[in-house]
Structure 1
Amino acid sequence: MPAAKSALSGATTMLSNDHTLAKLRESIGTLSTATTRQLDAALPWYRRLDAAERSALGLLAQNGIASFVSYYQKPSSPGWVLTDVFGNAPTELTSSISLQKALQLIRIVVQVVEDRVPELAAPGDEAPLREAVLRYAREVAFAAADVYARAAESRGAWDTRLESLIVDAILRGENTDALRSRIAALGWKSKEKFTVMVGASPAEAGQGFVNELRRTASRYAEDALVGIQGDRLIVVLGGVNDQESAYLRISELFGPGPVVYGPEAPSLVEASGSARAAFAGLAAVRAWPQAPRPASANDLWPERVMNGDDDARRSLVRHVYRPLLTASNGLVETLSAYLSLGHSLEATARELFVHANTVRYRLRKVTDLTGWDPLLPREAFVLQTALAVGRLASSARN
């Protein structure tokens, strides 16, 4: 038979030698012991494993040697690698060690057998036995890669499902042990700075898009959850570093239309408040045609109030109206006069019988207290809305 034809025929034409086969069967225990010693000597990470993990990998190595004997006897046996070598181990194996470490283990198993070819092979059978070892090593390596690929696919599908459940629970405001357990199972690391972004999803939001979104988010945040509900895209961010850059860059991956992000939440299970504010802002943002993309839900307080959002109304009273009222020093009266008199410092000074510099000083105090500058038209609108809802709240209590 020509050499090329022999090489192509491969394992299907390889015949086992009965004497070599018997020697291999007798040496399974010896080879297993030698493999275990070599693993301990050559692999530092193997020595650091606990007793249960070492025992499981030792059994895997023993299975590999026993399976080689079967392979040598009948190379074309179907499915021998997955069933004989790995058995029920894929889940345990892939969770304990990486693919790189698994291949290191397989390399040592094969090396131990190959080093003993001269003493295991019958006279004249050294070359065929060495060839069988090499073919076996190739098959096991491919099988290991297949095991890890399948495990990764299973984990990916489970993680996607788990991620969807967590996003849905956050939107519903769920705060249970089950949610905390799911968050832990997903490997969430962030402890602070949680924000929810909402907007339209792209026309084709497949797995490739989700992966790109996660990669982008990972540059600006420690963790990210992605949820697609119909035509809506929800992104939950944890541990955001540079907020301005993060929100702007991530918003570019949303579909057409406005994108709104909620205020920071102290924990992931409390991120429902951020989500609620973001969705309320998304529903009201049409009333502000010049709104930036992305827009802060807090910047949309006036539009949200007009759209019937009680959270926005309470926030304006708590964060704007009451601090001004508590500060006294004529801040509410000065702000009210300034807004009602066409934003004129001189007219406000005449109305209150004070100097214009006093008006300027009080307006600066308003900015310091609330974070909103009455000299800027948009922020003056927020302040004017706060005065209105604050007075209504006061009259309701009276």
Structure 2
Amino acid sequence: MGFQQGLSGLNASSKNLDVIGHNIANSGTVGFKASRTEFADMVASAIGTSGGTNAGIGVQVGAVAQQFTQGNITVTGNNLDVAINGNGFFILQPSNGSPHTYTRAGNFKLDDLGNLVTNSGEKLMGYPAGSTTLAPIVFPTGAYIAPQKTGSVSAEFNLDARATVGTMYGTSIQVFDDLGKPITVDFEFTNTGPNAWSATAAVAGGAPITLPPLSFDPSSGSITAGATGTLNIPSPPASTAFSTSVDFSRATQYGAKFAVTDLTQTGYTAGSLTGINIGDDGRIMARYSNGVTRSEGSLALANFRNTQGLAPIGNNNWAATIESGPAVPGQPGSGNLGALRSGALEDSNVDLTAELVNMMTAQRAYQANAQTIKTQDQVMSTLVNLR
């Protein structure tokens, strides 16, 4: 026995303790993946020697293998926290312009420019609305979204079939012009005879504007004429005159009280961001102060042919290597990519109990290797002291 075996054992055990200590230190790190030390023996061989007679010369660290098992998912209630349930990595764009990096940590923030970013400033990548090209996900946090002019008005209501000639019913709605300025439109329906009604609209208290008259089937109560029309909004009160379609196709005439069951229009005023929701499929829905909820795109995930080949680079991130193969991006939930869970985070997959047991085993291995060196030293001292 030589010193080489014990020394190699000390080095390997020390490396093992480093890996175990790193795992334990990151047991509370979001999205962290534990590693394990894998050993390989070392054997000296020479040409011409017969097998089975050579003593090994120690141990070496064969690999430090990352363990990409699923971590527990903890609900946080923060809509910007996102956990991956299954395979895949979030795609990040570093601020220094270097190639994409990848992470399992979904504790994202909004920066002052509206980008979804990590704690270290990398931008989260996805597919903006209407695009299939990867780009940073950006929200209009510092500015209003543009208003939308009303293009159509739709109403569902019942006109009382028992009404007499001259009976009048009315309702009102706000529409929006090009600049998002609200304009009140008052609708009036006046009975003009059996199953017949006139329809008018008054814009912001102005003179009535005649719409197509309404007729109803006397047996079914469904509308037969006047279901659609066009309303011209003058300037003023609108910033610029415009027209909007009017849809009364869901109107009925039954022997019941007048009631409006639905009244909608397609315009809205300017609005600021008030909230974000992320679906299981990565779709991002943004809520605005004007009542609008719209899709701002979707998050993207990436997977690799060999995740063990990814290189850890710190800040919970990995980089692609030749061994890992190139990233294959896609929509969450598609192919072999996992689903997302908004308002939750993936915990570290470190098993503290197992790591503490491993630490005790590694400590004993270190002590045992130190003992072999001590024994070899005693043998050498005996030989030196021979007379």
Give your verdict on TM over 0.5: no
If you compute each CA radius of gyration, which structure gives the higher value, 1 or 2? 2
TM-score bin (small chain): under 0.3
Q: Which has the higher helix share?
A: 1
- What is the TM-score of this pair, normalised by structure 2? 0.22
- What is the TM-score of this pair, normalised by structure 1? 0.22
